[in-house]
Amino acid sequence: MNNDQIFNALGGGVIAVPGLLLAVLGLAALLSRSLSEEATTRWTSACVVAGLLSSIAILVLMLVSGSRDVSLEFGDWVVIPEEHFHLRLKFVFDRLSVPFVMLTFVLVGTIGVFAHHYLHRESGYGRFFLLYALFLLGMVVASLAGTIETLFLGWEFVGLSSALLVAYFHERLAPVINGQRIWTVYRISDAAFLLAAVALHHATGAGDFEGLMGTGPWPGGEAALTSGQALEVGLLLLIAAAGKSALIPFSGWLPRAMEGPTPSSAVFYGALSVHLGAFLLLRVSPILELSIWLSAAVVALGLASAIFGAIVGRVQTDAKGALAFASLTQVGIITAEIGLGLRYIPLIHIIGHASLRTLQLLRAPSLLHDYHLLENAVGGHLHHRNGLPPRWTPPRFREGLYRLGFHRGQLDAALDRFLVRPFVEVFRWCDRMERRWTDLLTGAGSRESDRVPPAAPVVEEAR
Amino acid sequence: MNRSIAAEADIPEDRTGLEAVDQLEHCIEHATHRLPAQGPITVFVHHNTLHSLEDLPFDDAVKQGARIYGCHPYLPEDFYRGEAARGRIASKDLSAVLIDDLGEDADWLLGFMGTRYHLRFAMLEHPLRPGTDAELRWLIAETDALHRFRDEASRDVRQRMIEPTRQWILRDYLDGQARAPARGADGIAALIAQFGASTMERWTDRTWESFTLHVLWRVCHNGVHGIPPFAEGAPLPRRHRDLLLRATGQDADLLVHGVLIRFCAAFLDQGFAAWPLPDREAGFFRSFAALYRDERRVAAWLRDLPTELGRLERSAASPLESIDESLRLLGVADAERGEYLSETLLALRGWAGMIWQMESNAEWAVRPAPAGTLQEYLAVRLILERLALRHVARDALLGTVELRDFRTVLRHRIPQPPRVGVEQRAYLVFQLAQVRGWSPTDLHRLPKAGWSRLVEEIESFDSLERRRIYHHAYERGYRNQTLDALLIHARRLGPVDGSVIPSSANGQQGRVTFQVVCCLDEREESFRRHLEEVDPTCETFGVAGFFGVAMYYRGVTEAHFRPLCPISIKPRHYVQEESIHSFADASRFQAEARRRLGRFSLRVHMGTRTFVGGLLTGMLGSLATIPLLMRVLLPRRTAQIRRLFGRMVTPPVTQLHLVRTGPEPGPRDDQLGYSRAEMAGVVGGLLRSMGLPEQFAPLVILTGHGSSSLNNPQEAAHDCGACGGARGGPNARAFAQMANDPRVRRILAEDGLMIPDHVFFIGAYHNTCDDGLTYYDLDRMPATHREAFQRATTALEEARQRNAHERCRRFESAGLTITPEEALRHVEGRAEDLSQTRPEYGHASNAVCFIGRRSRTRGLFLDRRTFLTSYDASQDDPESSVLTGLLRAAIPVCAGINLEYYFSRVDPTGYGCGTKLPHNITSLLGVMDGAESDLRPGLPWQMVEIHEPMRILFVVETTPEAMLASIAGEKSIRHLVDNAWVQLATLDPETPTIHVFRDGGFKPYEPVADDLPTAPSSLAWYRGWRDHLGYASIVPVGPCPTLDGQGGHQ
């Protein structure tokens, strides 16, 4: 067996294993044969360990063989020759994707073990692990993606599972509202992503990353685009990344994601999902180099988000919210680093930050315990005035900063008012017109739904 | 009243403003009683969730609570049915409770349909399926409901229904005799045609069955048709928001709460946020105004807020005046203000309750709230509500409505509640007829008045009433089991002579080798039982776990004094743990090291959330994978390593600063500790109240208890309730030191209490989560006691292992075949596991409290469900003053625990705080669900899931007369007892007779069972069981069986 075959086998394994897990858990749920907690955990840990070992093996093999860029093709699924379009499934193992996929397996695996205890006897245990498998598959596909279509596929899996996990406690109102809001922000980011793909296709005639990175292993590739095209495509991708990584102006969704069970908040929003935007920017880094304006935009957005996160985080009074904004600060810095042309530093930063934040979020319910220990050690109540804002600044400025933090920059309200409201108004207008027209045609109230009361009748067992 | 406000409000002044404001203050004060009374979560004190309703009888109070809070009064009917199906609720208990409840009405006859009792019993025994009209129409059309009898209908009943129908149809109906002209439209003729009139003689039994049911359904349907509804529909809600929600499906509170939650959290924050709220000192209203006054609000509904706030600030209106104005603008009449404000406060009751607690009851907190905060909160809330209502109404109703006329307009827009459907009523009768055997013939002849009575009868026994009866039967079953077990076990023991050591115990003829005094906590029951099984020559006692030592205590590594005593007591004494003299230098060094380490970890902890610090830690963050993986995969090992490091910075030998030098107690150095006389008072008081042992053993071990677990915001709820939700180890240690002091003993001897010189007391601490045992001050133990101590510790070690093993039977994640060593490791791992949401089950098994001599319960398997308090009536004075003292502590504390568990289990998301999984600690005060929600007081689902919600049963070993006399003057106890919030019984000290308290007096109890199972050991009885387990006498045969087969301790 030569190297290529081994690579193919191992690489196929890395991708197939999460797919297998999803298939097993999904089919079990579909056939109403819910697996026991033990069985679910056995499947989960076996698959994660297999995936992790395969990816480590690939890393070792890459180091030994000196090959820095291995790709795995699953052929063209759709080919439209006259449009030069082909939908290709292609995966790449290189210096960016292998560390990222290993990080995914380690963190997701740890969370699997954690959640097995944490969700013990919970009625949604199976549902959690099903979404968990979907998330894992999404993360692996997105990290290893070699074409923009493949990346989009993984990206969607991650988005779907994230939103559903936020809405995990669907018997309460707030998780559903927040889950839906996150889903909506993700749609905006997806729309930007798709537009970028179309624009790219328009410019190069192929959706392959090669169009973006040119040839050559990451991070040395060169893109075959003009500076103008790069700016256009790059800005769209920046919007996509901002939505996914909760950069300004989409930052409002990050604390809302803390509705789910602690482990999912920890790994998905504290650690992995939130870095996916930065990962996308790393992936397409060659086009950042083509346009100084694009790089500047990335740096500016990253720094603005980081500063924003630092200010808002200091005002938060709840454990998980504070950690969410602390994550945002770091993601902002990482984005800025990418914009500055660094490649390996952001990667190390992502890995370190993800691990640290996961640990912190998992320990969030211990906060009181930890504070008590710290108080005893320090010998008094904890006073931790951070340097910001400095004492010499005028009080009005300090209050202004506090207000900015407290109201979270009113970003959510601004999105609602300037982005959502116009949409809703337009569609309501359409609705009114339609109603008027149908009422005219039927000569009476044409909407059956108007007569349905907003609440369903409750039978005897009333509260 | 301020002129400008009156002008704004545009309402004629019909009374003086002062009066209105006074009345408002009274209303708010009144409403605060309904708010949850849980303070900051770090000090968790169990209390009755419906404390404010304690002056009502229990059943009325839970219904009232259901109305006020929108929570369940009892468990759902399905739960009780399940319990009846598996035999936990016995049919005889149901019928006994029902007869009892109906009294003389039980025999009220409803013609051929039997008595009221029969009717109700049938409704309890056989579940009636309710449903909406649409659901029932589907059921009739698509299932075999009209073809086959219900499964519960017996053969006999089926025959009783089919035969008359057949006769009636064949003999009378076809002849036209039964067909009254007015009843021509009853549809039976059509049915006959449908089934095939010509082939009627050849119809099979199944056809007749189906036909009978069809006729029955038709008859029922016709019968109930046109009967007016009996129960009045629920009144329309009072709050504008509720009406708006009903009318449009849009919730104005969503907007209001978004603002309020964030602000309340910032205002009450005890130091979590790095930047505190500016202007916090100015009070709730002013700091709120400062945040919202200047800025342009982007959110449309808040656009008018700055103007509104500015106007109020300029007019310098007091909060009460502002509330008054808001209520006028909302058109709330004077008469309904109390209820309206109460409902408004309850809309966000967790936060409102916490504000009230921080304002009225938390002077010890880092940042208590100033007086009047709740009023300011209410003022702000009403302003926000006005804005939100106006906004939502504009959005949904497509028009502007004056707020004052808001409710009138909305009431007309609310869809009419559906009338009681004919299908629903018909289906209830249809189902009942099948189990009671009412033939269609008889029902067909029933006049309309009869139908009306029948329907009224059925509807008066609604779901709520059924659940009440079920619940009483559920409690009755366990009560009878308990009382029977106590009686039979007492009889088995023979006459009680006071000595608890079986005289046959290994030839030692009643010599007690050591005595153990535990907390009365029901979690110590199994520990004591196992100890007595392991070493039958020991004796155990149960007392309130602060051992009479009410003190403020500060450990050597702790920063603050904290009270260690029940919350009802305010301690006067201060006690401090200090390192001993020869380690003083090392200790100073260690304290410095601890401080530096603490500062460093605090800096890291905070630093990871900042810009630059986060950048640095982010780069090195991969190192965090090591603790992450270790803590998740190997929690127990990690904890051992951490403890090892911890030991390096903790002084190895410490002592209590217990002897006071100054005259008055206080926190200063010379004021620390107790005087000898005070010590003698503590020691004598405790020994006398628990019933002085006939003989002191050479070794008396006192074990305080507490619990430590990780990732558990409600950690303090597992600690000792008698120490006010703290750990009782220091109390035991202090008591032992006091009792060992020869000068204290001399004072006691003068008082007539002789503690022989050869008796030595040892303090210890029992961790109920990992079943660890720590002994204090062993260095002071005389050499003469080493052997006795060796023997005692061997037994205690074995007992804690067995205790861990018994606890593990309740944990699904521990196998049923686990060995005691593995069990101990398992519980140790649980306590240190970040991912463990059930470190222990706490008080989840509480059900009974026994107050009396241990000899009455020794050797009885109580399944960790019984609080055990030692009390000896024969040593009490004629006024039973010792008993009064015990009850004063035991009844409120145990009832508080029991009722909090009751309500949190009965409605886990309403009264309890729901599942732990999304909990988010906020402001260092409490938990929210997820990102932003109301504060959640109460117990989480993981703590109560195995609890059987029942009112606690107190069994006191005394006579009914003494019992009544001892509680006669205790108002708080009488409230609980008279209003049946607790159940009470007495066990006669001399004879095995029991009296139960009912309707204001004690009635003799008639035993139900005549046998009680026996088992050779606790293990033999509980092995293989997960669920709650019944009583059994543990009667050892031969050498005590042990689990590892190494032979027992004899």
Least confident of A297-306, A350-359, B256-265: A350-359
Sign, CA torsion B389/B390/B391/B397: positive
Q: Report the greatest alpha carbon distance in chain A.
A: 79
Q: How far apart, in Å, are the Cα atoms of B417 and each of A50, A462, B234, B244, B425?
A: 59, 14, 9, 15, 16
Check residue A266 and report its DSSP letter: I
Q: Is B858 on the interface with A (CB under 8 A)?
A: no
Confidence of residue B592 (pLDDT cuts 50, 70, 90): confident
A-to-B residue pairs, Cβ atoms closer than 8 angstroms = 303
Q: Name the phi and psi angles at B39, rounded to 5.
A: -85, -160
- Nearest chain A residue to B296 by CA distance is A410
pLDDT at B182: 43
Q: CB-based contact (8 Å) between A73 and chain B? A: no
Q: What is the dihedral of CA B307, B309, B312, B314, to 10 degrees?
A: -70
The answer to whether the beta carbons of residues A107 and A271 sit under 8 Å apart is yes
CB contact under 8 Å between B132 and A385, yes or no, is no
Query: pTM for this structure?
Result: 0.92
Interface touch B920/A463, C-beta < 8 Å: no
pLDDT of B309 strictly over 80: yes
N- to C-terminal Cα distance for chain B? Answer: 83
Q: Which of B429, B493, B442 has its CA nearest to residue B160?
A: B442
Task: Please tell me the predicted confidence (pLDDT) of residue A116.
Answer: 92
Nearest to B273 among A317, A356, A363 (CB): A317
Of B115, B185, B350, B133, nearest to B927 (Cα)? B350
Q: Give the helix/strand (H/E) hosting B632.
A: helix B625-633
- Lowest pLDDT segment from A80-94, B359-373, B517-531, B689-703: A80-94
CA–CA gap between residue B871 and residue B873 (Å, rounded): 6
Q: What is the pLDDT of residue B278?
A: 85
Tokens read off for B206: 């199944």
Task: Measure CB to CB from residue B595 to each of A333, A364, A379 and give the nearest one.
Answer: A379
Contact B930 A406 (CB under 8 A): no
**Interface with B, mutate which of A177, A178, A314, A318 (most B CBs under 10 A):** A318
Window A:303-362, CB contacts with B under 8 Å: 306-307, 310, 313-323, 325-326, 329-330, 333, 345, 348-349, 351-360, 362
| Banded pLDDT at B1038 (limits 50, 70, 90) | low
Banded model confidence at residue A457, pLDDT cuts 50, 70, 90 = low
Can you give the pLDDT at residue A456? 57
The 10 Å Cβ neighbour count of residue B1045 is 6
B235 close to A (CB below 8 A):
no
Nearest CA of chain A to the CA of B278: how many Å? 7
Provide mean pLDDT across the span B106-131: 86
| Contact present, B823 and B800 (Cβ < 8 Å) | no
- pLDDT for res B804: 96
Choice between A394 and A236, residue whose per-residue pLDDT is larger: A236
**One-letter amino acid of B426:** A
For residue B930, the distance in angstroms to the closest alpha carbon of chain A comes to 4
The minimum CA-CA distance between B651 and chain A, rounded to whole Å, is 13
The pLDDT of residue B651 is: 79
Q: How confident is the model at residue B88 (pLDDT cuts 50, 70, 90)?
A: very high
Instruction: State whether A402 and B838 contact (CB < 8 Å).
Output: no
CB–CB contact B559 A381 (8 Å)? yes
Q: For residue A352, list chain B residues with Cβ-Cβ distance below 8 A.
A: 617-624
pLDDT at B74: 95
* pLDDT at residue B28 in the model: 93
Interface mutation target, options B78, B834, B909, B913, chain A, most CBs of A under 10 Å: B834
> Residue A327: pLDDT above 80?
yes
Least confident segment among B292-296, B319-323, B888-892 = B292-296
pLDDT, residue B140, reads: 86
Give yes or no for A391 touching B (CB within 8 A). Answer: no
Contact B356, B368 (CB under 8 A): no
Above 90 in pLDDT, residue B906? yes
Q: Is the pLDDT of residue B554 over 70?
A: yes
Whole-number percent of chain B with pLDDT over 90: 51
- The per-residue pLDDT for range B991-1021, each reduced to its tens digit, is 889 999 998 899 999 999 889 999 999 999 9
Q: What percent of chain B has pLDDT over 70?
A: 93
Q: Look at residue B500 in the predicted model and tell me its pLDDT.
A: 47
State chain B's mean pLDDT as an integer.
87
* Chain A partners within 8 Å of B131 (Cβ): 459
CA distance B608 to A323: 9
Res A387 pLDDT > 70 = no
Of B526, B571, B549, residue with least CA distance to B763:
B549
Q: Which of residues 204-233 of B touch A (CB under 8 A)?
A: none
DSSP state letter for A418:
I
The CA distance from B870 to B855, in Å, is 10
Name B1003's bridge partners: B996
Which three-class secondary structure string do you get for B404-460?
HHHHHHHHHHCCCCCCCCHHHHHHHHHHHHHHHCCCHHHHHHCCHHHHHHHHHHHHH
Give strand pairing partners of B706: B767
Which of A289-303, B443-457, B613-627, B822-836 is least confident?
Answer: B613-627
Amino acid at B110: L
Inspect the interface and report whether the beta carbons of A363 and B921 lie closer than 8 Å: no
A183 part of contact set with chain B, CB < 8 Å: no
- Summarised one tens digit per residue, pLDDT across range A44-60 is 999 999 999 999 999 99
**Residue A84 pLDDT:** 67
Give the tokens for residue B714: 């409600």
Cβ atoms of B919 and B962 within 8 Å: the answer is no
pLDDT digits (tens, 9 = 90+) for B32-77: 999 999 889 888 888 899 999 999 999 999 999 999 999 999 999 9
Q: Does any CB of chain B come closer than 8 Å to the CB of residue A254?
A: no
DSSP string of B707-776, one letter each residue: ---SS-TTGGGGSBGGGTSB--HHHHHHHHHHHH-HHHHHHHHHTT----TT-EEEEEEEETTTTEEEE-
DSSP characters over B181-239: GGGGGGSHHHHHHHH-GGGGGG--HHHHHHHHHHHHHHHHHHHHTTPPP-SPPPPPPSS
Return the structure tokens found at B244.
């708006």
What ipTM is given for this predicted complex?
Answer: 0.93
Nearest to B711 among A316, A363, A413 (CB): A363
Give residue B17's pLDDT.
64
Of A100, A99, A127, nearest in space to A115 by CA: A127
| Predicted pLDDT of residue B11 | 44
Separation CA A230–CA B974 (nearest Å): 82
Per-residue pLDDT reduced to its tens digit, A240-294: 999 999 998 899 999 999 998 988 888 777 788 899 999 999 988 888 888 899 9
CB under 8 Å to B754, separation ≥6 — which residues?
B748
With a cut of 90, say whether residue B1044 has pLDDT above it: no
Residue B13 has what pLDDT? 47
**Statement: residue B736 has pLDDT above 90:** yes
| B904 or B280, higher pLDDT | B904
Question: For the range B95-103, what are the long-range contacts, defined as Cβ-Cβ under 8 Å and sequence gap of 24 or more?
Answer: B95/B121, B96/B473, B96/B476, B97/B469, B97/B472, B97/B473, B97/B476, B98/B124, B98/B469, B101/B469, B101/B472
pLDDT at A462: 41
Contact B956, B924 (CB under 8 A): no
Tens of pLDDT, residues B150-186: 888 888 888 888 888 888 888 776 666 555 544 445 6
d(CA A94, CA A213): 13
What is residue B1049's predicted lDDT score, i.e. its pLDDT? 38
Is the dihedral angle over the CA atoms B686, B690, B693, B698 positive or is it negative?
A: negative
The answer, yes or no, to whether residue A382 has pLDDT greater than 80, is no
- How much is the pLDDT for B181? 45
